[in-house]
Amino acid sequence: MTTKRPVYLDFNATTPVDKRVLATMLPYFSEDFGNAASTTHAFGQQASAAVSHARQQIASLINVSANEIIFTSGATESNNIALLGVAERYAHKGDHIITCVTEHKAVLDSAKRLEKLGKRVTYLPVDSFGRVDLDQLRQAITPQTILISIMAANNEIGTVAPLREIGLLAREHDIIFHTDAAQYAGHMPLDVQALNIDLLSISAHKLYGPKGIGALYVRRENPRVDVAPVIYGGGHEQGIRSGTLNVPAIVGFGVAAELCQAELEDEAERLRGYCQKIFRELSRNIEGVELNGHPTERLPHNLNISITGTRSSDFIALLGDVAISAGSACNTANPNPSHVLCALGFGSERALSSLRISVGRTTTLEEVEYAIGRIIEASQVLQLVPA
């Protein structure tokens, strides 16, 4: 059986809404349309109960309490609240935050905004695999440090951070630890309690839920963490994020989280196998294929490679019916090499030839084999290998 074309291999950019998720969401657009804050009548009570259930499903995915989940419009907003909200709330304690050069723009631009507001930010470098050095992190800590924000998994190269070690270091120094887990949550086991994480950003559309909904986990005990709001209004979400709750999206997010939790282990193994197969076969058939990111400490569904002497844009244009990307979806309009690839220290040639291939729930072996064939063909067109 031939699967339909084009083949989608860009699951790090976004995932399709799972049909089971969509089915659960649908009634909340029309019949069950209540405002979750209107708890004086049955319509509102029903919506509120649906939101509570979703909150519990999401809390369970990361092993926290439901009251520690704050709904937002996505990981961008969660990251903004984490950085700006901590800087404001803990201004009396200090004015220094530590992050890293390969973070998503939602963290980097929030950090830049804080610098404009007079705060001090340390941007840690990464090694050639994309990991921060724990000794450098320790050395960067000052008595004024109030926040460490290091992403759980990089959206371009898939490298995962040593979360446990960073969590311990932050706890030892009584510093709040935020992690952007937009690419990690739902794809790798995540126990926030065991890892000493205080704030964590999640996005539903990266885990087969709808776009425009996400969450910020905010630790409420041992120790209690507080963040100032970025959006003001009716005081929803414990005053941290005002605005009428998007009930259908929240319901979908909840189911998506539950499904990921149930299927995570088997999926991770299947998808890791696909990525390994792609890398193996491309390395065997194309000269100059290099892996970007960590060989083992990486997301199971992400593969990032550079092919010596090529340009990602040429490759992607040639591929046509195989949808992959050069890097982050947020930077596709930017002709400059990715800040993440550049941070690995290999130079702009390698950065400009990077290809991000990310597989997901709907990916089949047939699609993987088709994509491998197309990439090899494209490399031949570009005369990289003798025909």
Ligand X SMILES: Cc1ncc(COP(=O)(O)O)c(C=O)c1O
Q: Which residues are catalytic?
A: 330
Q: Does 203 contact ligand X by CB under 6 A?
A: yes
State the Cα–Cα distance between residues 55 and 286, nearest whole angstrom: 47
State the Cα–Cα distance between residues 74 and 80, nearest whole angstrom: 10
Q: Are 261 and 60 in contact (CB under 8 A)?
A: yes
Residue 203 or 310: which CB sits closer to ligand X?
203
Q: Does 327 contact ligand X by CB under 6 A?
A: no
- Single residue of 24, 51, 62, 74 touching ligand X by CB under 6 A: 74
Q: In whole angstroms, how far apart are CA 132 and each of 169, 181, 193?
A: 13, 16, 22
Which region, judged by CB under 6 A, interacts with ligand X, from 128-136, 159-167, 175-183, 262-270? 175-183
Strand spans (E) along the chain = 7-8, 69-72, 96-100, 120-124, 145-149, 176-180, 199-203, 214-218, 289-291, 302-307, 322-323, 354-358
Q: Are 205 and 14 in contact (CB under 8 A)?
A: yes
Q: Are 157 and 341 in contact (CB under 8 A)?
A: yes
Which region, judged by CB under 6 A, interacts with ligand X, from 180-188, 241-249, 313-321, 361-369? 180-188
Kindly state the smallest distance separating residue 286's Cβ from ligand X, in Å: 27
Residue 206 or 384: which CB sits closer to ligand X?
206
Kindly state the smallest distance separating residue 186's Cβ from ligand X, in Å: 12
Which region, judged by CB under 6 A, interacts with ligand X, from 72-80, 165-173, 269-277, 354-362? 72-80
Which region, judged by CB under 6 A, interacts with ligand X, from 42-50, 69-77, 89-97, 350-358? 69-77
Q: Does 183 contact ligand X by CB under 6 A?
A: yes
Kindly state the smallest distance separating residue 211's Cβ from ligand X, in Å: 7
Q: Does 179 contact ligand X by CB under 6 A?
A: no
- List the interface residues with ligand X, window 126-165 (CB under 6 A): 151, 155
Torsion from C-alpha of 128, 134, 139, 144, nearest 10 degrees = 110
State the Cα–Cα distance between residues 295 and 276, nearest whole angstrom: 10
Binding site for ligand X (CB under 6 A): 74-76, 104, 106, 151, 155, 180, 182-183, 203, 214, 329-330
